[in-house]
């Protein structure tokens, strides 16, 4: 069984540049040389690397490097998955992380949780504890957006959610 990576071991392998949020190798590692940036882009657009044959997201390594504890989940506040400056990261539970999602768009969707239905009216929904709740159906897009934003505030969604 492999030992868990310690903060001391991590700090002996990499250095953290707080102004850019990047980690740099302090040792030659595989094809990477001393001074090379740590991580490559995954298919989900996160920077990832491996240490001692175990894969890590660079954002989790940055959190561990700075605070000495493993986060449950790391949220990129600005939604940029490669921006690993510590002030852009927060340790959250997965459910809380889902309250800071980017808007991706979709069939009839106006904004995250608001869509136009077949009748031409606008319906608003929101997630809570893994379930989807109908907020209401409205005549105008503005009213649906307003009710959705109010529900987000009441449920503790992050201010960047949906942006």
CA atoms of 62 and 18, how far apart (whole Å): 9
The answer to whether the CB of 100 falls within 8 A of the CB of 157 is yes
CA atoms of 163 and 156, how far apart (whole Å): 16
Whether pLDDT at 159 is above 70: no
**pLDDT of amino acid 11:** 97
β-strand 73-76 against 131-138: which pairing, if any?
unpaired
- How does pLDDT run across 38-55, given as a tens digit for each residue? 999 999 899 999 999 999
163 band by pLDDT with thresholds 50, 70 and 90: very low
Q: Say yes or no: domain 103-154 is CATH 3.80.10.
A: no
Lookup: tokens for 69 = 């504890």
21 band by pLDDT with thresholds 50, 70 and 90: very high
pTM > 0.75: yes or no: no
Whether pLDDT at 123 is above 80: yes
94 band by pLDDT with thresholds 50, 70 and 90: low
CA atoms of 145 and 124, how far apart (whole Å): 7
- How does pLDDT run across 100-119, given as a tens digit for each residue? 555 455 555 567 778 888 88
Share of the chain above pLDDT 90, in %: 43
Q: Which helix (H) or strand (E) holds 64?
A: helix 58-67
Domain-by-domain residue ranges, the chain?
A: 7-96, 103-154
CA atoms of 62 and 56, how far apart (whole Å): 10
22 band by pLDDT with thresholds 50, 70 and 90: very high
**pLDDT of amino acid 2:** 55
Cβ-count burial of 8 within 10 angstroms (0-12 exposed, 13-18 middle, 19+ buried)?
exposed
CA atoms of 100 and 98, how far apart (whole Å): 5
Which CATH architecture is the domain 7-96 placed in? Alpha-Beta Complex (3.90)
The answer to whether the CB of 92 falls within 8 A of the CB of 25 is no
């Amino acid at each position: 069984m492999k030992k868990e990576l310690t903060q001391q071991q991590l700090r002996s392998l990499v250095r953290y540049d707080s102004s850019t949020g990047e980690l740099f190798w302090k040792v030659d590692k595989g094809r990477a040389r001393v001074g090379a940036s740590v991580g490559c882009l995954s298919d989900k657009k996160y920077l990832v690397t491996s240490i001692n044959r175990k894969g890590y997201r660079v954002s989790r390594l940055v959190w561990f490097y700075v605070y000495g504890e493993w986060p449950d989940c790391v949220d990129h506040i600005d939604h940029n998955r490669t921006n690993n400056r510590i002030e852009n990261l927060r340790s959250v539970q997965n459910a809380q992380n889902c309250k800071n999602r980017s808007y991706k768009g979709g069939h009839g969707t106006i904004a995250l949780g608001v869509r136009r239905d077949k009748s031409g009216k606008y319906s608003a929904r929101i997630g809570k504890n893994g379930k989807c709740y109908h907020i209401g159906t409205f005549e105008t897009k503005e009213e649906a957006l307003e009710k959705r934003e109010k529900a987000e505030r009441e449920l503790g969604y992050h201010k960047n959610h949906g942006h």
